[in-house]
Amino acid sequence: MTDLQALPSPRPFPPERVAAVRDMLESSVDNQSGRRRWKSRGFLLTVGASVVLSTGVAVAYVAFAPATDHSRVRCYTEPRLGDRNTYRGTDAGMATSADGTVAAIDAIDLCTALWRAGIIAAGQPHAELPDSGSHPVPPLTACRLPDGVAGVFPGTAELCRQLGLPGLAPG
């Protein structure tokens, strides 16, 4: 422990030394504030760029999202959602292989095949038995449904946005 009684008495500080220390401190503060200002600008630019980039990524994810359920596709026969039990269309999927993997499904290709075979048709409430003819296929667009399933609708890519759904990202 330090004994405060043993401290030496203050020594005089010459005025020219006081002026030199003051100049040195003022110069140091000026240099640091200049550096800080530059660092602050750099920091703000970095933060601004990060915000713009993350916003762009979020917008891209909302505009296009991957399906999380790859085992099935919901093929709609009209350009509206309906609820889970009353939508017009059918679910289609791929069987799981013996090793537990599921083959990737190209949602639009799968629904195109159902339309072409006459299994589904415009406004039809559910799947029907196919006939031997080839049927017209309307333009189809794929959206990601809230439950992660790919939903394929008759319509253009604009339809996903109108339904409040992200477009289906490849993959």
For 115-137, how does the pLDDT look when each residue is reduced to its tens digit (9 = 90+)? 999 999 988 888 888 888 889 99
| Torsion angle of C-alpha atoms 158, 159, 165, 168, degrees rounded to 10 | -70
Is residue 91 within 8 A of residue 72, CB to CB? The reply is yes
Q: In the chain, where are the structural domains located? A: 13-65, 66-168
Higher pLDDT, 155 or 42: 155
For 30-84, how does the pLDDT look when each residue is reduced to its tens digit (9 = 90+)? 665 555 555 566 655 555 555 555 544 444 444 556 667 777 899 999 998 877 6
For 82-109, how does the pLDDT look when each residue is reduced to its tens digit (9 = 90+)? 776 678 888 888 666 666 655 556 888 8
Share of the chain above pLDDT 70, in %: 65
